[in-house]
Structure 1
Amino acid sequence: MHQNDRGIKQGDRLLKMQGKLDRGPVEFKSHIVEQEGEIMAIATRDVISIPPTQSIITAVEKMTKCGFRRLPVTDAGTGMVRGIITSGDIINFMGGGDKFRLVQVRHGGNLLAALNEPVRTIMTQQIATLHSDARIGDAVDVIIKKKIGGLPVIDKEGALTGIVTERDVMRVLAAARSPLHAEDVMSSELRVTGPDSPIASVTREMTKYRFRRLPVVSDDVLYGIITATDIMRYLGNREVFSRLTTGNFAEVADLPVRALIAGELFTTTPEKSINEVARDMLEKNIGSLPVIEDSRLIGLVTEFDLVKAFAKG
């Protein structure tokens, strides 16, 4: 059954899409992850970090240039981890949540001035980390329980030695054949937005529900996917500055998200195995795939969904 929700504003919709098949809840049978290798075997060792005194715009530009969704914040001298700045923190800062107060209150709505504040003012300070002798199973546990996409790896003194992401974990776990398919693990109750929804509306939705991405739907047809990285890239590529004359955030807040959707739209189908879905994500360097059936969006599979599915069942 497909709910139209035509009386609800296009930019604020919850679609419950089950497709034509009866997709009840899938019961996973938990098992212990058997990978016993040290976490450093899959972690990125040559980690780029930023000191807490660096400006927000410098952090955003570095993340955009390197294609990162997160950047550890470390003391310049000791390498001790003090926090992490993520694409989620950036969209929170851009009108999504409490970090927007830096723009709105301290700088009276002046985005340019707020971007020059030190990154410590918006970074996430209480973060989960892994020690360098941790197992892959430890990373899986933290990622699933805390719904975290990336974990700094530290040594006994607390200095940064690496970073491991859910993509790193998914790559390892996907080596084991799974009987599950996209329809078994996808999210079928989806919040979506419209192509003409303003940036400010989308950042609020993402922050409120802790989403990194939202399907963009127009007249019940999938238009694209807007991600936190797309919005962050808008700042990091300095495109936002071409729209600013006074520096006020209001000048960019109403830009429709259709202008920010980047790249080709990739999709998958409900019957595709999750091993194939994982391989497609890794090859295309993307974090999610919309699930399409009879030309209709019925779900979304993310890296997190796959890590959870491979680790259980």
Structure 2
Amino acid sequence: MVMGEESPRSPEAKVGMQVEDLWDIQEPQLSPTEKLNACFESIPVSAFPPAPLHQGIEIRSDSSLAEAVQILAEHKILSAPVVDVDAPDHASWIDRYIGIVEFAGIAVWILHQSEPPSPRSRSGGNALAAATNGAISPLEQQVLGPESAAATPGSFFESLTSSELYKSTQVRDISGSFRWAPFLALQTSNSFLTMLLLLSKYKMKSIPVVDLGEGKIENIITQSAVIHMLAECAGLQWFERWGTKTVSELGLPMMSPASIVKVYEDEPVLQAFKLMRKKRVGGIPVIEKGGRAVGNISLRDIHFLLTAPEIYHDYRSITARNFLTAVRDYLEKHEESSPMLSNMITCKKDNTIKDLILMLDSKKIHRVYVVDDDGNLEGVITLRDIISRLVHEPRGYFGDFFDGVLPLPQNSRV
């Protein structure tokens, strides 16, 4: 390399440099947050780097749950769009896709298989239909209470994954939809600001970007991808102005110690997944009897129940502790890297937001637990929390976005 030649910038860093150029020409009276809002409003979503090829996976609507789980697990992704095999070749994107299937949705199906029918629960078909897009009803909240989480024997998931029901239930059988379309999507002309707000304030974990001309998904932007982009922007002026603020200066953590959703180590692991579903969180700490956190279980970890059920066979019940132990042993045996092999990832309130971003990106995790000097939990910070501190929603910003960008399908009854 020639002396003094700059090293190649990543695609994500190039986006950061666009923000840098825009930052320099903003009105001087604007606050740093207002400047960032203006910068991100000026950059189209089409500038966001394409997702890795494995994240562009699509699942056929006639695939079985077993096949869908295998595809998601093999490609290490949490969700994938479902293509309607009966759609015509030149269908619009609204008619081409029927929804998004995710581990969280399949988890709902599993939970309904693990307990007897309740008079308070909805019928199986309707319950499955809510699985795809994260919807949960008051009735589901009732049946997902602690009292219904029986101690599941270690052989349960071996029996389930070998059952005809698991092999024959198709993805389309559990596919729900948003009011307007198969899923909430962006067009390539929408702005970064719109995308960041949907991923933070509006609590979306991923957003497909559609090509209206082709009727297909052109990109999928996730919270993790945004955090990676921010990590690649370290050193740029605008990032350093924002990223060197401490966690407490930015009003984090948003969740107090009392409101942290947790599961105790001797509780059934299904209780952990039920709590995540009921409380709409992606992961929870596992607490030992003394009150110390000994691990973390996330929704993406549910695939271990389905892809390696034999590792629990010798357990009389799959408690949260047994789940952590079995999965860690399995990962070490197969020499696989995973966040589950790490101890609890923590930070202090005086850590900078830059520290957290670099940590989350390097370790490929979705949350960091905030602790005091004695190691006691003080809160949790998620990817969404960080993105929410990057931008704010201007008054009336979205207007009729949800009705205008995503028109009602012709057959909609809403």
- The alignment's TM-score, normalised by the length of structure 2, stands at 0.59
Q: Does 1:280 align with 2:345?
A: no
Indicate conservation of the 8 Å contact 2:371/2:378, yes or no: yes
Q: Does 1:182 align with 2:247?
A: yes
* TM superposition shift of 1:196: 1.8
Any idea what SS the aligned residue of 1:82 has?
strand
Counting only pairs closer than 5 Å after superposition, residues 289-300 of structure 1 correspond to structure 2 as: 289-293=368-372, 294-300=374-380
Please give the alpha-carbon distance, in whole angstroms, between the structure 2 residues aligned to 1:167 and 1:308: 13
**Code of the aligned partner of 1:153:** V
* TM superposition shift of 1:64: 1.2
Counting only pairs closer than 5 Å after superposition, residues 70-149 of structure 1 correspond to structure 2 as: 70-76=79-85, 80-95=96-111, 101=124, 111=160, 112-116=163-167, 117-126=169-178, 127-149=183-205
Please give the alpha-carbon distance, in whole angstroms, between the structure 2 residues aligned to 1:29 and 1:93: 46
Q: Which of 263, 268, 283 is the aligned partner of 1:213?
A: 283
Please give the alpha-carbon distance, in whole angstroms, between the structure 1 residues aligned to 2:311 and 2:122: 23
* TM superposition shift of 1:172: 3.4
Q: Does 1:256 align with 2:326?
A: no
Kindly tell me: are residues 310 and 49 of structure 1, through their superposed partners in 2, closer, same or farther at Cα, counting changes over 3 Å? same
Deviations 1:89-132 (A, max 9, x none): 12222217979936x99xxx983333221111223422211112
Q: Does 1:201 align with 2:258?
A: no
* TM superposition shift of 1:182: 2.9
Any idea what SS the aligned residue of 2:341 has?
coil
* TM superposition shift of 1:311: 1.9
Aligned to 1:38: 44
Query: Could you say which structure has the higher strand fraction?
Result: 1
Indicate conservation of the 8 Å contact 1:43/1:168, yes or no: no
Kindly tell me: are residues 30 and 87 of structure 1, through their superposed partners in 2, closer, same or farther at Cα, counting changes over 3 Å? farther
The unaligned stretches of length 5 or more in structure 1 are: 1-27, 245-250
Kindly tell me: are residues 100 and 122 of structure 1, through their superposed partners in 2, closer, same or farther at Cα, counting changes over 3 Å? farther
Please give the alpha-carbon distance, in whole angstroms, between the structure 1 residues aligned to 2:229 and 2:263: 33
Please give the alpha-carbon distance, in whole angstroms, between the structure 2 residues aligned to 1:61 and 1:33: 42
Moved more, 207-216 or 29-38: 29-38
* TM superposition shift of 1:289: 1.1
Kindly tell me: are residues 96 and 29 of structure 1, through their superposed partners in 2, closer, same or farther at Cα, counting changes over 3 Å? farther
Moved more, 222-231 or 92-101: 92-101
Determine what percentage of the aligned residue pairs are the same residue: 19
Moved more, 88-97 or 135-144: 88-97
**Code of the aligned partner of 2:164:** A
Please give the alpha-carbon distance, in whole angstroms, between the structure 1 residues aligned to 2:271 and 2:389: 31
Please give the alpha-carbon distance, in whole angstroms, between the structure 1 residues aligned to 2:63 and 2:386: 35
Whichever of the two has the greater Rg, that structure is 2
The unaligned stretches of length 5 or more in structure 2 are: 1-30, 114-120, 129-156, 234-238, 325-339, 394-414
- The alignment's TM-score, normalised by the length of structure 1, stands at 0.77
Deviations 1:227-248 (A, max 9, x none): 011112321x2x225668xxxx
**Code of the aligned partner of 1:42:** P
Q: Does 1:164 align with 2:221?
A: yes
Q: Does 1:68 align with 2:138?
A: no
Please give the alpha-carbon distance, in whole angstroms, between the structure 2 residues aligned to 1:164 and 1:85: 16
**Code of the aligned partner of 1:279:** L
Aligned to 2:294: 223
Kindly tell me: are residues 37 and 96 of structure 1, through their superposed partners in 2, closer, same or farther at Cα, counting changes over 3 Å? farther
User: Which 4+ stretches in 1 moved above 6 angstroms?
Assistant: 96-100
Please give the alpha-carbon distance, in whole angstroms, between the structure 2 residues aligned to 1:204 and 1:45: 31
**Code of the aligned partner of 2:124:** R
Q: Which of 309, 313, 321 is the aligned partner of 1:240?
A: 309
Kindly tell me: are residues 243 and 277 of structure 1, through their superposed partners in 2, closer, same or farther at Cα, counting changes over 3 Å? closer
Query: Could you say which structure has the higher helix fraction?
Result: 2
- Which structure has more relative contact order (CA 8 Å, sep 6+)? It is 1
Indicate conservation of the 8 Å contact 1:94/1:100, yes or no: no
* TM superposition shift of 1:292: 1.8
